[in-house]
């Protein structure tokens, strides 16, 4: 699985594309390094504030969306109430989503045979399928935490 590039590599990428590299953006790059949790912008913001108190949520959102525009991460709407950012942009993969805490994990499985039944395509020219499995993660099952459905954990 691909991870977000190193902070130095992202700095070079931003400069190559004529984007400004600020101390705030470099802080965000450091926060993203090695994070495969599909963080929300709010989770990235909370982690970045531990290092740089003056960073703004707006800067975090702008930087994440610029990284997505450059193809470095994918912005995902998985029905958790917040956009999640996926560092794995290589190859088709699917997702597991915890209904209790909102944790998101990659699922590498082949669903290439999934097709829209003939006549049910509503006029769409269908490309690929993206499968999202919803359930309860091992941590929530063990702890009994978050008995309320759809409770969001910003650090999942």
Domains delineated in the chain: 7-76 (1.10.10.10), 91-143 (3.30.1490.190)
Q: What does the pLDDT look like over 8-41, one tens digit per residue? A: 999 999 999 999 999 999 999 999 988 888 999 9
| Mean pLDDT score, 132-152 | 75
pLDDT given for residue 153 in this prediction: 46
Largest CA distance in the chain: 55
Q: Distances from the Cα of 29 to the Cαs of 8, 22, 50, 142, in angstroms?
A: 8, 11, 14, 33
Is pLDDT of 156 > 80?
no
- Is-contact 87 2, C-beta < 8 A? yes
Is pLDDT of 102 > 90?
no
Reported residue count of the chain is 156
Is pLDDT of 80 > 90?
no
Mean pLDDT, all residues of the chain? 86
Confidence of residue 2 (pLDDT cuts 50, 70, 90): low
pLDDT given for residue 138 in this prediction: 94
Q: Which residue has the higher pLDDT, 32 or 89?
A: 32
For residues 102 and 135, what is the distance between their CA atoms, to the nearest angstrom?
Answer: 10
pLDDT given for residue 28 in this prediction: 95
Q: Provide, rounded to the nearest whole percent, the portion of the chain with pLDDT above 90.
A: 51
pLDDT given for residue 114 in this prediction: 86
């Amino acid at each position: 699985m691909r991870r977000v590039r190193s902070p130095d590599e992202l700095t070079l990428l931003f400069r190559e594309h004529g984007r400004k590299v600020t101390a705030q953006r470099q802080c965000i790059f450091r926060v993203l390094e090695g994070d495969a949790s599909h963080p929300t912008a709010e989770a990235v913001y909370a982690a970045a504030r531990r290092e740089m108190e003056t960073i703004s949520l707006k800067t975090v959102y702008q930087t994440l969306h610029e990284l997505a525009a450059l193809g470095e991460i994918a912005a995902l709407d998985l029905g958790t109430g917040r956009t999640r950012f996926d560092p794995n942009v290589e190859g088709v993969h699917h997702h597991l989503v915890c209904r209790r805490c909102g944790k998101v994990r990659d699922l590498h499985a082949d669903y290439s045979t999934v097709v829209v039944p003939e006549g049910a395509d509503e006029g769409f020219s269908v490309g690929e399928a993206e499968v999202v499995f919803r359930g309860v993660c091992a941590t929530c099952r063990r702890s009994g935490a978050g008995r309320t459905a759809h409770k969001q954990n910003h650090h999942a």
